[in-house]
Structures are given as C-alpha cells and as structure tokens.
A and B are shown apart, each in its own frame.
Chain A
C-alpha cells in the first residue's frame, strides 16, 4: 500500500512499499491493468522530456556560482518557489497514494491536507521563515549549527541525507515497477532512463532546473488529471450520485456515512475506516507529523529559501497552500470515484484488480481510471503526468541531498576550504552518486522488503520528535546545543519504546509492527499507532530538550542568537506600499479561513 503523501512523511507512517503494485515482471497485464499506447502518446512523452532536458541545458549557461547551483542564486519570485514547494511533494506517493487512501477512507482522507498540511504551511511561512531565510543559513542543518551546535547539525544532516536517497530510490522503484506492469516496459531500462533524465537536468541546471521542472510538472499533473475527475463524476451522476454510492458503500461496511464526511465520524476510532479518533488525528497528524515535515524538512524549505527576498520566502508556503487545499479534488476524488464506480456495477463499473489479500488493489486506482477514461492522446498526457510525478519525487530528494551533503557534510568535515568551483563540482558528482545510491535502494526494494520497512521504521523514530527541537530553538533562547541533541535522542528512544510496547489490531507482535518488548496497548489501526507514537516522541523530545537545556550552560550568547531566536530578532515588517495580497499575515488569515470553511462544508 502506498499509503500517502510526501516522501519524507512516508518514513513516519505505517507504509508498506508499493511492492504490491504489480505482479511479476515482464507481463504487460500484471496487476490487471494494461495500457495500449499509440504513436501520439509516444510523441507526447518525447515532447515533454525534450522540454525537461532543454530547460537544464538552457539554465546551464547561466550557472556560475555554487549559490546558483544549490540555492538558485536566491533569486526566484514567490509564485515559482511556491509551485516548486508543492511540486516537489506532488510525487507519485501523493498522486497514487492519496487516490488509494480516498478509496479506503473516503472524504476523511482530506485530513492529510486540511489538518495535516495547511496549518503547518501557514506557521512556517509566518513564524519560521524569518529565521531560515534571515539567518542566511544555506540549509536546515546549517540553521541547527548556527542555533545549537555542530553535533546537532551533523546528526540531522546524516539522517536527512540517508532518508532522501532512500525516498528517491522508492520513487524510482515504484515508477519502474508500475511501467513494467501497465506497459510491459523493462524494469532495468525504466530505472536507468528515469535516473539519466533526472541526472541530466539537475547536473546541468542545479536547483533552478529542478524547481522549473517542478512548476512544469505541477501544471501537467493538474491539467492532466483534471479530466479524469470530471469524466468520473459525469459517469457516476455528479456529486450527488457519488455521495449516494458512497453512502450505500459506507452502510455496507458497517460505518454508515463514514466515507461521506471528514469529521462527523471521528468521535471514536472504531467508527471510521482510518481507525483514529479526533485527538490522535489533530495532535499526531495535524501537529507533530505535519509540523515536523512542513516546518523542518529541507526538501520543502529549500524551495522557499531559493526566493529572491524575505517577503517572497515567507509567501512561498502561503501561496502554495492555496492549490494544496484544493488538491483533494484532484488526488482523493479519483479514489472515491473509483470505489463508488467499482461497487455501482453496470456500464459505469470499473474493474479494480484484486490484491494479494483478496481485496481490490487500491494502489491501481489511478492507472485503472486512466485506462478507462483516457483515449490515446489524453492517455499520453495522463502517463506523462504520472511519470512526471515520480520524477519530481526523485529530483526533489536528489537536490536536497546534494546540498546537504556538499554544505553540511563535505564542506564541514572533509574540505572546509573548498573553493566555489570545487563545491559546484562536488554538487554535480553528488548528484550522480545520489542517483546511483537511489538505484541501489530501488533494487534492494525488489529483494529485501523487510529491510526497507525496517529503515522506514528507524527514520520514523528519528523524525517524529524533530519539530520539538526547532520549536524550542526558535522560540526559547535558553535551549542549548546539548539540550537539542540529547532531547532528540530522548525523543527517538521514546518512539522506539512506544512502538515496542504497542501493536495495531489484527497484527502479531514483531519488530516491524511493534509490541516486541511487551503489548501494553492495542490500537485500532496502524495509522493510529503511528500518530500516537509521534505524539509520544514529540513529548519526550520536548521535555528532554527543556530539562537538559536547563541543566546545561548556554552555548550561545544573545548576540550569536540574534536572527535565530524569536525574542532576540527584530520583527519582520512589510515594506511600505506592499499591497494587502502580498502581506504574509493577510495571506495567512485568508488561507486559514478558507481551510476552516472547507472543513465545515465537508464536515
């Protein structure tokens, strides 16, 4: 099951790698879906990838310094950074995983957006970006060095670097597996070609090339998938027809109305298909996991830090939040339509392939919908959009990886006096190496599913508490380097201890599922277990950081902390004459109001 959204969040949720996507290699009908491409579809693919590569080639001529390569010269306007910000997340995990979740959970899947993304995006834009951008740090780990110390930076840089190549490897693997299944293309060739395309456009144009391609991919995915939703809605009899079908389906599942509402069935974990109650949802997903990802993950922060000025950097996540809040209509609705059409039967019915567990394989929702509604021509567009989404997942991770490796590990520990030209060279070599490691991860995923699951679990332990040290660091000047580092370790151990003592219902105690120490509590679902693990990990880290900070001497003077901590930093004031729509606070209020309205409408 590709459970859900941004690649780094994969590490924090009960995700199983999309191995179940397909049957064996070699067959064009493995997984039960076969797409037949015509000349026009190949032409569309060729045109798209020519543009992707061409952008890198054109940008190469303008690339002169390492700042250009790793930070886009800090010169991009807010709207481009914003589309890159969400484009980097619009990976296949989101497109296919959210459709799968839409089928499994219905409208409540939108919590991953309206609770699990938008509030954190507003917070990072208004409150945290002044420190990231204003401190002139070149990366998130470098901010940790300025604010805390070298060991906290290196710990974050190392875990982040490993996680990004691993996430890129997952995207690569899933793309190759999917293309092998629905088109019969050779698995090895898919890995090779996707790597080479991503390599060429990052190698030549650096971060700017990655962001420009993310903008292209964003529009291609939106315009490419929209007709799928419109045709599906028409087929089921409009919104009313969809609600009627989902109502009947919910009833048959023993949870009347659960697929039709986002909040109404969250009073009890057993009353909704996600298996979570509202507190775990809001605190676990809405606060810890969401803020931990959107406010600290360099993959997204890097896009905002490429902005041309402070105002643009702050507006980046706020502008991005507007399309982001609409995405459920694009990525969740296909899943809801698929499950409704699947159960409706008759001429409108779609044939979802059966998974190994005897249930419909929801991961195949998007390919199945494309096969049903797109004739040749639009089929080429849909397939291109799908491939673009996988590649944006790869490229986002690779650009974040090469920056963190070059600045936070190579320049710090291996060659502190490296020249600017040398750093560009290292960045390019790192891009090649990063993609090669990703390919190794992709092949490892085909052989050692458990090892990859285990890695994800470990990342979950490391990431879940991360937001606590940023919160303490930015808003409490007394937080110390030792406090942050050992607080992080405390949070990680809390996560491991929590997981070792709990299991999801229906699972036996194991290293991967939990309960390997003892079973103190059984959760309704693995999702609930993850959300609560995050809550505990955050609390452990937060308390640990406070206690250890108070027991250790401050390692930074007030002067050193200026620009890094809220109470010691001058408030960012909008320039005179800034129109209302360009003021981050006003934008934040608008975005928040719209999000609340969406929650109420789909309550």
Chain B
C-alpha cells in the first residue's frame, strides 16, 4: 500500500458529508422535498448511504493497516 491509504480520506470525506446531509435532512423544512425530490427526504436517505459508504471505507482502511 502507498504512503497514505486512499480509503482513509475517502472514508472520512463521505462520513462527514453523510453526517451533514443527515443532520440537514432532519432539521430542514419538509416543503423543499415536496418541491424537488418527489416528496422524498433525499438528504436523509442519501446522507445515510454516504455515511455507510464512508464507514465501510474506514473499516477497509483499518483492516489493511499493518499491525
């Protein structure tokens, strides 16, 4: 593996973006979803997916780290 495992920054980035989206999805006005995303709170669902992807990447990076 290279000097920096790319899965580490990738995991952190997507986890951070995921958390931002989820938090915004919870506090935002539901009207914006009716107006844009066919009534679905995409920030919440897609934010959760981003966070899950981020955690998976972090787990993979940690698993690959030499002990």
Please, which residues of chain A bring their CB within 8 A of the CB of B40? Answer: 231
C-alpha spacing A47/B9, complex, angstroms: 12
Asked if B2 and A216 make an inter-chain contact with CB atoms under 8 angstroms apart, the answer reads no
Asked if B38 and A235 make an inter-chain contact with CB atoms under 8 angstroms apart, the answer reads yes
Q: When the two chains form the complex, which single residue of B17, B28, B53 contacts A48, counting CB atoms closer than 8 Å?
A: B17
Known: A40-B24, A375-B35. A47 touches B14 (CB 8 A): no
Of A69-77, A266-274, A292-300, A588-596, the stretch lying at the interface with chain B is: A69-77
Please, which residues of chain A bring their CB within 8 A of the CB of B12? Answer: 51
C-alpha spacing A466/B20, complex, angstroms: 48
C-alpha spacing A77/B49, complex, angstroms: 26
Interface of A is mostly: helix
Please, which residues of chain A bring their CB within 8 A of the CB of B43? Answer: 375, 377-378
Chain A residue, CB-CB nearest to B23: A40
Please, which residues of chain A bring their CB within 8 A of the CB of B13? Answer: 47-48, 51, 216
C-alpha spacing A538/B43, complex, angstroms: 50
Please, which residues of chain A bring their CB within 8 A of the CB of B10? Answer: 215-216, 219
Asked if B42 and A231 make an inter-chain contact with CB atoms under 8 angstroms apart, the answer reads yes
Please, which residues of chain B bring their CB within 8 A of the CB of A378? Answer: 21, 37, 42-43, 46
Please, which residues of chain B bring their CB within 8 A of the CB of A562? Answer: none
Please, which residues of chain B bring their CB within 8 A of the CB of A373? Answer: 36-38
Size class of the A contact interface (CB-based, 8 Å)? 35 or more
Known: A44-B17, A51-B12. A375 touches B37 (CB 8 A): yes
Of A20-28, A53-61, A155-163, A448-456, the stretch lying at the interface with chain B is: A53-61
Asked if A223 and B49 make an inter-chain contact with CB atoms under 8 angstroms apart, the answer reads yes
Known: A216-B10, A381-B21. A62 touches B4 (CB 8 A): yes
Asked if A216 and B9 make an inter-chain contact with CB atoms under 8 angstroms apart, the answer reads yes
Q: How many residues of B contact A (CB 8 A)?
A: 31
Contact with A along B1-44 (1 / 0, CB 8 A): 11110100110111011001100110010001101111010110
Asked if B20 and A55 make an inter-chain contact with CB atoms under 8 angstroms apart, the answer reads no
C-alpha spacing A80/B38, complex, angstroms: 36
Chain A residue, CB-CB nearest to B6: A212
Known: A48-B17, A51-B13. A374 touches B36 (CB 8 A): yes
Asked if A376 and B32 make an inter-chain contact with CB atoms under 8 angstroms apart, the answer reads yes
Task: Confirm or deny: A547 has a beta carbon within 8 angstroms of a beta carbon on chain B.
Answer: no
Task: Confirm or deny: A241 has a beta carbon within 8 angstroms of a beta carbon on chain B.
Answer: no
Asked if B3 and A62 make an inter-chain contact with CB atoms under 8 angstroms apart, the answer reads yes
Task: Confirm or deny: A208 has a beta carbon within 8 angstroms of a beta carbon on chain B.
Answer: yes
Asked if B53 and A219 make an inter-chain contact with CB atoms under 8 angstroms apart, the answer reads yes
Asked if A223 and B42 make an inter-chain contact with CB atoms under 8 angstroms apart, the answer reads no
Please, which residues of chain B bring their CB within 8 A of the CB of A80? Answer: 2, 6
Chain B residue, CB-CB nearest to A370: B36
C-alpha spacing A216/B4, complex, angstroms: 14
| Min CB gap A331→B, angstroms | 19
Chain B residue, CB-CB nearest to A306: B2
| Min CB gap B34→A, angstroms | 9
Interface residues of A in 213-244 (CB under 8 A from B): 215-216, 219, 223, 227, 231, 234-235
Known: A223-B49, A375-B28, A378-B43. A59 touches B4 (CB 8 A): yes
Please, which residues of chain A bring their CB within 8 A of the CB of B2? Answer: 62, 72-73, 75-77, 80, 208
C-alpha spacing A219/B13, complex, angstroms: 11
Please, which residues of chain B bring their CB within 8 A of the CB of A212? Answer: 4, 6, 9
| Min CB gap A209→B, angstroms | 10
Asked if B38 and A376 make an inter-chain contact with CB atoms under 8 angstroms apart, the answer reads no
C-alpha spacing A75/B40, complex, angstroms: 44
Asked if A77 and B1 make an inter-chain contact with CB atoms under 8 angstroms apart, the answer reads yes
Asked if A40 and B37 make an inter-chain contact with CB atoms under 8 angstroms apart, the answer reads no
Please, which residues of chain B bring their CB within 8 A of the CB of A223? Answer: 14, 46, 49-50, 53
Please, which residues of chain B bring their CB within 8 A of the CB of A381? Answer: 17, 21, 46
C-alpha spacing A221/B6, complex, angstroms: 17
Asked if B20 and A43 make an inter-chain contact with CB atoms under 8 angstroms apart, the answer reads yes
Chain B residue, CB-CB nearest to A51: B13
Asked if B20 and A40 make an inter-chain contact with CB atoms under 8 angstroms apart, the answer reads yes
Please, which residues of chain A bring their CB within 8 A of the CB of B9? Answer: 51, 54-55, 58, 212, 216
Q: Provide 16 A-B residue pairs closer than 8 Å at the C-beta atoms, listed in order of the A residue.
A: A47-B16, A47-B17, A58-B4, A61-B3, A216-B6, A223-B46, A235-B38, A372-B36, A374-B42, A375-B32, A375-B33, A377-B20, A377-B21, A377-B43, A378-B21, A378-B42
Residues of B with Cβ closer than 8 Å to A? 1-4, 6, 9-10, 12-14, 16-17, 20-21, 24-25, 28, 32-33, 35-38, 40, 42-43, 46-47, 49-50, 53
List the 5 shortest-distance A-B pairs measured between CB atoms, nearest first.
A62-B3, A377-B43, A375-B32, A375-B36, A377-B24
